[in-house]
Structure 1
Amino acid sequence: MGRPDKAARAAIAQRRADAIDLRLAGVDWLTVARKLAADPAVNSDRVAYPQGYGIDRYNKNLEPPTVDQLINAACKDVRLALKERTTEVDEKADELRAVENLRLDRLFFVAYRQAVKDGDLPAIDRALRIMERRARMNGLDKPSKTEIVTPADSGSDLTTATLDELEALIGITEEAARGSE
């Protein structure tokens, strides 16, 4: 199977956006999956959703995907869509950071020239503030120690857990979510 054409990619992007919208509206995974299924026999609206879940099987007249396969497809769609959105936001932030660095360069040049030429103490302070801002914005400073503190009467009990314990807990949570659907 090759790369989908432009129309198919657009339909997949729309399906992913629809999946996120449905989840944000509080719709459970199975309902999301059925609403976005390609096979009208499975689709909750009884229509073939364009590029819907199980489209390959539907096009070959095979049995529709199982409930678990539908849920997994919906989960994967939302995860990929969120990852793409995060990547887009990160790229835009990188572009903005580059512009801000150029602005800081211009400001620093003026303050630095005055600080070095005249020994002007306010200009020295300004140059240091610009340097601090640049270091914060670009993550050059080491982070200060972060501590999680809960009020004594909150009932929160923070404990340490191994990676295996966390993965087991996540697995239990996913099973419970499937059981409630």
Structure 2
Amino acid sequence: MGRPDKAQRAAIARRRSDAIDLRLAGVDWLTIARKLAADPTVNSDGIAYPQGYGIERYRKGQEPPEDQALIHAACRDVRKALDDRRTELNDDVDEMRALEADRLDRLFFVAYKKAVRDQDLAAIDRTLRIMERRARLLGLDMPTKTELAGPEGGPVYVASTTADELAALINLTDPASS
């Protein structure tokens, strides 16, 4: 089996999209798998789904895959489609971040010129705000160190408790139990 051609890749993408749509609609895995199966004898619509699950077996005239194999294929499709969408979203986020950085650069240039040339305090403040926004957008600021401390700056003590002790504590603080 070689690499799928353009039409086959489009059909596979359509199948994955259909699998996600069905899963989002709350359809169980076996129903999804049967609806998107290549062999009309197991396909719930009674048709051969293009590039459906078990297409290789169907083309060779073999028995269709077992339910577990169909379910596995449907799960794999949904995982792959979600990974692809996540990658697309990450690419879109990176592109948007670069666009926003370019916009901030243009605004900074205008505000900076006015701040330096006119020594305008409002322009200086605006320049600093643009710089702060750009640093947050690009992650240039050092992370803020946070520290958890107990009473008077001492250590934090952690204790385990039983379910009964926890229930008793909840009942003590629950205004409805009064």
TM-score (norm 2): 0.75
Q: Which residue matches 2:108?
A: 108
Q: Distance in 2 between matches of 1:79 and 1:144?
A: 36
1:28 maps to 28
Per-residue Cα deviation, 1:93-138 (whole angstroms, up to 9, x for no partner): 2222222221111110111122233332211211111111112222
Cα deviation for residue 141 of structure 1 reads 3.1
Distance 1:115 1:47 in 2: 70
Change (3 A) 1:80 1:106: same
Percentage identity across aligned positions? 72
Unaligned runs of 5+ in 1: 147-158, 160-181
TM-score by length of 1: 0.74
Structure 1 partner of 2:55 = 55
Equivalent residue runs for 1:4-153 within 5 Å: 4-142=4-142
For 2:144 and 2:67, the matched residues in 1 are separated by 47
**Structure having greater relative contact order (Cα 8 Å, sep ≥ 6):** 1
- Alpha-carbon distance between aligned partners in 1 of 2:133 and 2:10, rounded to the nearest angstrom: 41
Q: Give the 4+ runs in structure 1 shifted more than 4 A.
A: 142-146
Q: Distance in 2 between matches of 1:85 and 1:2?
A: 25
How large is the Cα RMSD of the aligned pairs? 2.0
2:150 is aligned to none
Q: Which has the larger radius of gyration?
A: 2
1:163-174 equivalences under 5 Å are none
Which residue in 2 is equivalent to 1:153? none
C-alpha distance in 1, partners of 2:128/2:15? 50
Distance in 1 of aligned mates of 2:89 and 2:46 = 36
Q: Deviations over 1:58-97 (max 9, x none)?
A: 1112222122211111111111111112222222222222
Structure 2 residue runs without a partner (length 5+)? 147-159, 161-178
